[in-house]
Structure 1
Amino acid sequence: MSSRICGLFFRSYFGMRGLTNHHLSCCVNTLLQTLSSTWEIADLLEKWETGGSCEAGNVPLQLKRVLVAMRGDSLQPAPHRDFLQCLHTNNIRLNRQHDADEVFLFILNFIQKQMDDRALALEIQDLYRISVENVLQCSECSSVRTRTSYLLSLPLHIKDDHNSLEDCLTSFFELQELTDLNCCFCAPCGRKTPSKQGIRLLSLPRILCVHLKRFRNMRGDLRKLDCRLTFPETFDFSEVVRDALSSTFTQEVCRYTLYAVVVHSGVTSCGHYTAYVRHRGNNRWYYADDSDVQEASWEDVKTTYGGKNSNTAYMLMYRRGSVQVEHPEASG
């Protein structure tokens, strides 16, 4: 059996289907591959009785249909024109370049707005919900103000001296000094005082989405930061940012395993999105570049660390829980 036929056989057998690039749709194609690998979403959407939904402009309905199609065993790219047109109707326009993290959050927002089953919609959001406590402490009287909120992805700034995901996480949760013009009003002190501001974790989600913010406005010019940043295949969140856990944090399982990487290549004005995804059936990595899907390895995924390579990881999807990590190329 030729390698080409073998590749098609594995794609069909394991349900890995590509997506044709229609009208600059690589960003959406890539996100659909990561959502398809987030089998929890497809399982929840399957429970949704969609009889009362308006079809043409309903994002979760069209998402449900395309995820079902992507699980099919056809060798052809999965049909997703209706999903693209649905996003276009909801102002995610065709023939335009989009930011993957923004489109991802838009899709989650549309699910909340357009699903008539509120309980299921909340279950989908809860997959990604990172509950946090915003803390503001006066540096003079030590009084503390807190406010609870949530995030659906962790937006981590990239710095030249932070060359690992662990470094970025530590920096994200560090207390920030607010002084001079940034002083905040303290009620016990009756005036603006220097303060410390930070975020504490209340709970971690099943799916941890990390946004590596590689695009930065530099004197009015939006540039991409290609500096090298490593990330692990598995890590324990509680060990990386132990000091960021709230006193009420009670989760025992904080270990996460990487299952999808959204990759950006090129520059800000002319770029392309692809994805590495781990398949649920055989736990192996695959590389999805629009309609082309090929088996890959962890060594291939690590080429997206950045540095001189313009193919850089832009979003990381981790799943909570212990998953056996296989590296067939390393055996024997």
Structure 2
Amino acid sequence: MYSWMSSRIPSNFLFGMRGLTNYGLSCCVNTLLQTLSATWELADLLDKWEASCQRREDAHNVPLQLKRVLTAMRSDLPQPAPHQDFLRCLDRNCVRLNMQHDADEVFLAIMNFIQKQMDDKALALEIQNLYKIDLETQVQCLECTSIQTHNSYMLSLPLHIKEDHNTLEGCFSSFFEHHELRGIDCCYCPQCGKKTPSKQGVKLLSLPRILCVHLKRFRNSRGDIRKLDCMVTFPETFDFSENLQEAFHSEFAQNDCKYTLHAVVVHSGYASSGHYTAYVRNRANQSWYYANDSHVEKTSWDNVKTTYGGNYRHTAYMLMYRRGPGDGRQQPQLSG
């Protein structure tokens, strides 16, 4: 622990957290870097990687630049961490500078670049497994009752929210409940040999170490994108085995389904213009901190809860939960 008083620490460096300068609308990437830095399992895996790419390829390699910037963010220098090379690297890979971006889309793009550009494919798969949610989709024909199944995975769980008061548990339940598909949504049934009305549902095959939740606050309405500022409450800890057993597949075999929140991506403003910030839980002292580009300050769970929404336009957009204790004493179970 640092010996000087926090009031004397620059606002861009608190308890091992370094701020990030905003370069050309880079708040979205800055915020994601804070959440990825708080996910120490990712940084630990990247530290194991010895990249074999040539120097001329360095500037185009997203995981290599990510490794470097996460290392810089862990250093104890007071000035904002250098991350312009990472921003330029994303720009070379078509995540453009000086443009508004969607945080969930950029997060998934970074995960995709890791899979494509890391030469150590086994390590890249371990990183993917940190976030990998294995699912089985079941489609039952309502005419012949035959069932088709399809296995897939997601790296973030997109949750629909209602234009009303929402709870995270309610959003999860809605995602996993069965929905009828009729009319133009009918599915082809091999048994019937035609498109028929059906019932579709999703079951969990496994949960990841890091559960990324995307609250779908942006909605297309007659060609215009608008933001939903309605309330979505979420807890610091969530246990699937207590709240959502109906979501489990019969082959689901994990014992530990309890998650602790460690990062919140926040969107302020409107769909057409806005700003991203982050609340992250510090690994060393388990306190919450607020990162707004180069400014970092200690905060509280009560302040995190102001991002529930309702009367505020300062609303949670992505939630990062860690399975097991939040203090790092449990070893990562990367295979899910």
Q: TM-score, normalised by structure 2?
A: 0.92
Other structure's SS at 1:302 match: helix
Correspondent of 1:99 among 102, 106, 121 = 102
- Structure 2 letter corresponding to 1:46: D
What's the offset of the Cα at 1:216?
0.5
- Structure 1 letter corresponding to 2:287: R
Matches within 5 A, 1:144-293: 144-161=147-164, 163-293=166-296
> 2 CA distance for matches of 1:155 and 1:181?
23
What's the offset of the Cα at 1:193?
2.5
* Contact 1:18–1:293 under 8 Å retained in 2: yes
> 2 CA distance for matches of 1:257 and 1:158?
21
| Structure 2 partner of 1:41 | 42
- Structure 2 letter corresponding to 1:82: D
Flag the 1:46–1:193 CA change in 2: closer, same or farther, 3 A.
same
Flag the 1:216–1:50 CA change in 2: closer, same or farther, 3 A.
same
- Structure 2 letter corresponding to 1:208: L
Q: Does 1:312 align with 2:324?
A: no
- Write the deviation string for residues 103-152 of structure 1: whole angstroms up to 9, x where unpaired: 00000000001000000000001000000001101123221110101000
- Structure 2 letter corresponding to 1:38: T
* Contact 2:12–2:19 under 8 Å retained in 1: no
What's the offset of the Cα at 1:3?
5.5
What's the offset of the Cα at 1:203?
0.3
What's the offset of the Cα at 1:9?
9.4
- Structure 1 letter corresponding to 2:321: Y
> 2 CA distance for matches of 1:68 and 1:201?
34
What's the offset of the Cα at 1:198?
1.2
- Structure 1 letter corresponding to 2:111: L
| Structure 1 partner of 2:125 | 122
- Structure 2 letter corresponding to 1:166: E
Q: Which runs of 5+ in 1 are unaligned?
A: 325-332
Other structure's SS at 1:127 match: helix
> 2 CA distance for matches of 1:168 and 1:27?
24
- Write the deviation string for residues 192-237 of structure 1: whole angstroms up to 9, x where unpaired: 3321011111000000000001010111111000001100100112
CA RMSD in angstroms comes to 1.6
* Contact 1:164–1:229 under 8 Å retained in 2: yes
> 1 CA distance for matches of 2:53 and 2:232?
46
> How many residues align structurally?
322
* Contact 2:12–2:296 under 8 Å retained in 1: no
- Structure 1 letter corresponding to 2:220: N
What's the offset of the Cα at 1:182?
2.5
| Structure 2 partner of 1:330 | none
* Contact 1:162–1:168 under 8 Å retained in 2: no
> 2 CA distance for matches of 1:108 and 1:186?
34
| Structure 2 partner of 1:328 | none
Q: Does 1:133 align with 2:168?
A: no
Q: Greater CA deviation, 180-189 or 297-306? A: 180-189
> 1 CA distance for matches of 2:246 and 2:286?
33
> 1 CA distance for matches of 2:129 and 2:310?
34
Other structure's SS at 1:110 match: helix
Give percent identity, aligned residues only: 68
Flag the 1:2–1:111 CA change in 2: closer, same or farther, 3 A.
closer
| Structure 2 partner of 1:23 | 24
What's the offset of the Cα at 1:323?
3.3
- Structure 2 letter corresponding to 1:69: A
> 2 CA distance for matches of 1:171 and 1:185?
24
What's the offset of the Cα at 1:186?
2.2
Other structure's SS at 2:104 match: helix
* Contact 1:306–1:312 under 8 Å retained in 2: yes
Flag the 1:133–1:2 CA change in 2: closer, same or farther, 3 A.
closer
- Structure 1 letter corresponding to 2:285: N
What's the offset of the Cα at 1:65?
0.3
Flag the 1:10–1:289 CA change in 2: closer, same or farther, 3 A.
closer
> 2 CA distance for matches of 1:183 and 1:265?
38
- Structure 1 letter corresponding to 2:124: A
Q: Which runs of 5+ in 2 are unaligned?
A: 328-336
Q: TM-score, normalised by structure 1?
A: 0.93
> 1 CA distance for matches of 2:11 and 2:230?
38
